[in-house]
Amino acid sequence: MQLKTMVSASLRCAWCSPVPPRTVRTKPLSSSSSSSSTSSLQYPQWSGLQSWRESSLNENRIWGSNGPERSPPLSSSQIEADDDPTASLSSLAELGNLVLSTSDPLTKSRLSHLAYSRWRRLNLPLGVSKPPEPPARPPKPLLVSPKEIPAPKNSGLPLNAYMLHNLAHVELNAIDLAWDTVVRFSPYSEILGDGFFTDFAHVADDESRHFSWCSQRLAELGFKYGDMPAHNFLWRECEKSRGDVAARLAVIPLVQEARGLDAGPRLVQKLIGFGDRTTSSIVARIADEEVAHVAVGVFWFISVCQKMGRVPCTTFKDLLKEYNVELRGPFNYSARDEAGLPRDWYDGSSMDKQDKNVPLSEVYERLSCIISMENENSSLSNRDPS
């Protein structure tokens, strides 16, 4: 079965015009082959992407006086204990399902790290599972519409705790968003490649560390997650894309997480102005680490478009229009550029400058795509069956 047929049937990725001249690969992309496959994509990528992928487990889950500090390591007996809920699970998808089914926020954060650590340490397979709809949630915070979120002066929290609570809510949702991506699309590993799931499990581990820092700091300020209402906007955006992997990548890492790159520096400055340098340092570190998550989204969005024979820029715009997702500035261009997110994908002024060249370029892109796919199909047909 041809790749395009499989992706069309399984992942519903049908949109706009085809990709610029580059090879349409039919083999899954793994993290070990990411650097070589990236060259064929012909898009700039975050310079730290490969180092992030190859990094060791990050155990710095405590925020100390000088920044992140290593948590006391779990002993083998603790990891293999009978009451450890991950001990009986034998695949990444099952481990992700466990995290998604856990309602207590601190337990969810701890299990997310334990699940990722166990999968890496034991080299477990991906497996296949089905995510809960929706993920388990704690009784608090009360989830309301964004318009019903109280203003800082009416929240009962000081400004620094108010902003930190909002960030903690984003990070808790981000844990579920990453694991849902792993579990929901696990049946399509042969199409997407193992590296896709490796990357998003890594993202989930990062997000759980971020939530841990936020929770710790809230406690130091005399508050806890759940002390004020929160919105359910992020998960509603996730639900929109539950049947379409390209839409999931466009809506979550390329829009929602990219907004974190925009908001991070402004939030840091507000916290400094409030006089809370510890919280500002936590927020700055989280914003810096989110670059990797946007970069991962860019990489895999381009990869999926490449497999489908679609132009990433046009596909991204069409998906946002189809799913009614709004792009709002001001944009942090330097951070977005660092993450490899092209400006003409999201910035109207950049788009306007390029509109005159679109029709002719699409003709060349279509021809190049057809030639590339014909060459690929020809090589597959001539391959020795043995």
pLDDT tens string 270-309: 999 999 999 999 999 999 999 999 999 999 999 999 999 9
Residues 305 and 236: beta-carbon distance below 8 Å: no
Whether 322 is in a domain gets the answer yes
Residue 279 tokens, joined: 């919280």
* Domain-embedded: residue 65: no
Distance CA 111, CA 92 (A): 12
Q: What percent of the chain has pLDDT over 90?
A: 69
Is the Cβ–Cβ distance between 23 and 372 less than 8 Å? yes
Residue 317 scores a pLDDT above 80: yes
Tens digits of residue pLDDT in 190-228: 999 999 999 999 999 999 999 999 999 999 999 999 999
Strands (E), the chain: 62-64, 67-69, 143-144, 230-231
Residue 327 CA to its chain's centroid (Å): 17
pLDDT at site 27: 31
Please give the biggest Cα pair distance in the chain: 72
pLDDT digits (tens, 9 = 90+) for 61-108: 999 999 999 987 655 545 444 467 898 999 999 999 999 999 999 999
Q: pLDDT digit string (tens) for 229-248?
A: 998 877 887 788 888 999 99
Domain count, the chain: 1
Q: How far is CA 368 from the centre of its chain?
A: 31
Residue 249 covered by a domain: yes
Q: Which helix (H) or strand (E) holds 195?
A: helix 194-220
The least confident of 18-22, 340-344, 355-359 is: 18-22
Q: HSE of 360 in the Cβ direction (CA atoms, 13 Å)?
A: 3
Q: Which domain holds residue 97?
A: 3-59+93-378
Give a yes or no: residue 244 inside a domain. Answer: yes
Q: How far from the centroid of its chain's Cα atoms is residue 109's Cα?
A: 16
**Reduced to 3 states, what is the DSSP secondary structure of residue 267?**
helix
CB 95 within 8 A of CB 119: yes
308 domain residue, yes or no:
yes
The span from the CA of 235 to the CA of 237, in Å, is 5
On whether residue 141 sits in a domain, the answer given is yes
pLDDT over threshold 60, residue 364: no
- 195 domain residue, yes or no: yes
102 within some domain: yes
